[in-house]
Amino acid sequence: MRRILFISTLLLFICVSSFGMAFNNHRRGFIIGGLGGVGIDNWSMVDEDGVKIDSGNDIVIHIDLRIGVGFKGDRFILYYWGLGNTFLPDGSSGPTTSAITGVGGSYYFKPIAPSFYVNAGFGAHMFIRRLYGDYWLFGYTEEMYKGLGIMGGIGYEFARHWSVECGVMWGNPSYEEAKINSFAISLSIIGIAY
């Protein structure tokens, strides 16, 4: 996951640096952006019989990445969307990550800022728990829960390229005989180059 975050950040920096002069302040053509904020992830783990094994309501660091295209009319953009929440739960777990990567879109109510917008998407949900004790890699082993997830939100673009956004993400991934039900709410600052 760290490698993915590093590569995503590097790609974002290179693209913004390389294509910065190609953008014309209209939400059409190539777009790239993201940033992050904070949030809360309410999660619970159940076994195959539905008995709760573990749960948490943790404060998270939230990251967001979007790469895609905007369409004529400056109101709709479609993009690859990656969201991630990292937190430190109580108990025997190390850093835990809940992430969704997939396809998303945003609809702006006005063609130029300031404007409210809504977004929605779906994709692969991964919930990665790091457990202390076996000292396999950096002092912990990993359990990776996989499944489908959905994401969405509402935002306000207060200036060209800059928004404040309240987002949600939900997923129900599984690993061996256990399932995770994860629901997160985040508050972020989003920057999108267009």
Q: Is residue 27 helix, strand or coil? A: coil
What φ, ψ does residue 88 adopt, rounded to 5°?
A: -115, 100
Residue 20 reports pLDDT greater than 70: no
Is this structure's pTM higher than 0.85?
Answer: no
pLDDT the model gives residue 7: 66
Residue 15 reports pLDDT greater than 50: yes
* Residues 176 and 127: beta-carbon distance below 8 Å: no
Work out the pLDDT band at 78, boundaries 50, 70, 90: very high
pLDDT the model gives residue 180: 92
DSSP, res 18: H
pLDDT tens digit string along 109-157? 999 989 999 999 999 999 998 776 555 555 567 788 999 999 999 999 9
Q: What is 83-149 written as a DSSP string?
A: EEEEE--SSSB--EEEEEEEEEEEEESSSSSSEEEEEEEEEEEEEEEEEEEEEEETTEEEEEEEEEE
Distance CA 156, CA 161 (A): 11
Residue 81 reports pLDDT greater than 60: yes
Q: What percent of the chain has pLDDT over 70?
A: 81
Residue extents of the structural domains in the chain: 2-193
* CB contact set of 190 (below 8 Å; sequence gap of 6+): 33, 34, 35, 64, 66, 155, 162, 163, 164, 165
Residue 103 reports pLDDT greater than 90: yes
Work out the pLDDT band at 90, boundaries 50, 70, 90: confident
pLDDT tens digit string along 164-180? 999 999 999 999 889 99
pLDDT the model gives residue 53: 86
Cis check: omega of the bond before 114, within 30 degrees of 0: yes
Q: Kindly report the average pLDDT of the chain as a whole number.
A: 86
Q: Which of 159, 141, 150 is nearest to 184 (CA)?
A: 150
Is the domain 2-193 a CATH 1.10.10.10 member?
Answer: no
Range of lowest pLDDT (12-21, 42-51, 53-62): 12-21
Distance CA 134, CA 117 (A): 46
Q: Which two tokens stand for residue 112?
A: 């130029």
* Residues 96 and 84: beta-carbon distance below 8 Å: no
